Amino acid sequence: MAIAATRAPVRQQSRARARRNALVGWSFILPNFIGFAVLTLIPMGAAFVIAFMEWDSYSPPEWVGVENFERLLGDQSFWIALGNTAYYAAGHIPLTMLAALGLALLLNKRIRGLGFFRTTMFFPYITSLVAVAVVWNMLFNPTMGPINQFLEWIGVQDPPGWTTTSAWSMPAVIITSVWRDMGYYMVLYLAGLQAIPQEYYEAAEVDGANAWQRFWNITIPSLRPTTFFVLIMVTIASFKVFDLIVVMTDGGPGRSTLVLSQLIYREGIRENRFGYSSAISLVLFLIVLVFTVVQFRIQKRKED
């Protein structure tokens, strides 16, 4: 009886401590969860429902079923925006990853002024996007821009028109985007490189492996988790690109740089066709979801 009477207060104290710890934990995550629910989860659910409605924000929404999705099939702007989004992703994803990995390899060495160079490479990512777009538009100027002046100086007779021509506007946007983003992903690769044990390289040198063999057989396999994370992040960022294109080309010339995110903005905010805009956003969500799931399955298969 005496032992049971002693254990009861201990259990109560233990439960009180568990409740207090749970409350402390919830107090940390609840603000973030509320923000996610209000700013992301609820709008996503609303967009999913509105995609099956006709709504211009001035009159009550009207249920139209899959009519908005049927309209997508015959909308030329949608297919052009889809193709431009794929074009941008196909250029932006590999170039950004290669540039970020190359920078990380260069700046993972013990060189003088290492902190300065790392900061310099990361600086474009935190620079105002409007400033980045304006500066690169000046650099790409067909007649007065230093890029075309340099190309003419090295002997290029007919340099590209860059943002003033349909053929070169998307490459110009991709180059600008890669320049801006590579510093951020360089930091991720740097963290991955510094987590590789130096004993691996020392053992490989003892076995006579050259620099390329050490890179291919040690660095690349050890960076696989980092590369997978970077690939997912770059893929999502590529498919939802919006602000850089709006500031730099506004989808032009013509519709040569019109992407899905910008089409969603035009249809919803400018034309007040929120149902159709939500249908496009749902298609974009499904595309990103499919790509992400495929990448996860490929990664899992490699790990198995």
Over residues 66-101, the pLDDT tens digits come to 999 999 999 999 999 999 999 999 999 999 999 999
pLDDT value of position 192? 93
What is the C-alpha to C-alpha distance for residues 242 and 45, in angstroms, rounded to an integer?
Answer: 22
pLDDT value of position 148? 92
The pLDDT of residue 212 is above 80: yes
The pLDDT of residue 196 is above 80: yes
What is the C-alpha to C-alpha distance for residues 16 and 33, in angstroms, rounded to an integer?
Answer: 25
Mean pLDDT lowest for which of 7-11, 26-30, 220-224? 7-11
pLDDT value of position 157? 86
Amino acid at 8: A
Q: What band does 17 get if pLDDT is binned at 50, 70 and 90? A: confident
pLDDT in tens, 232-256: 999 999 998 999 999 999 988 999 9
pLDDT value of position 280? 94
CB atoms < 10 A from the CB of 251, how many? 22
- The DSSP result for 63-106, as a single string, is E-TTHHHHHHHT-HHHHHHHHHHHHHHHHHHHHHHHHHHHHHHH
What value does the mean pLDDT take over residues 125-135?
91
The answer to whether 173 and 88 have CB atoms below 8 angstroms apart is yes
Q: What band does 221 get if pLDDT is binned at 50, 70 and 90? A: very high
The pLDDT of residue 11 is above 80: no
- How would you label 186-221 residue by residue, b for 16+ Cβ within 10 Å and e otherwise? bbbbbebbeebeeeebeebeeeebeeeebeeebbee
What is the average pLDDT score of the chain? 90
The pLDDT of residue 4 is above 70: no
Let me know the angle formed at the C-alpha of 26 by 20 and 27, rounded to the nearest 5 degrees: 90
Measured CA to CA in angstroms, residue 262 lies from 42, 98, 239, 251, 270 at distances of: 22, 27, 11, 8, 11
pLDDT value of position 1? 52
What value does the mean pLDDT take over residues 42-54?
91
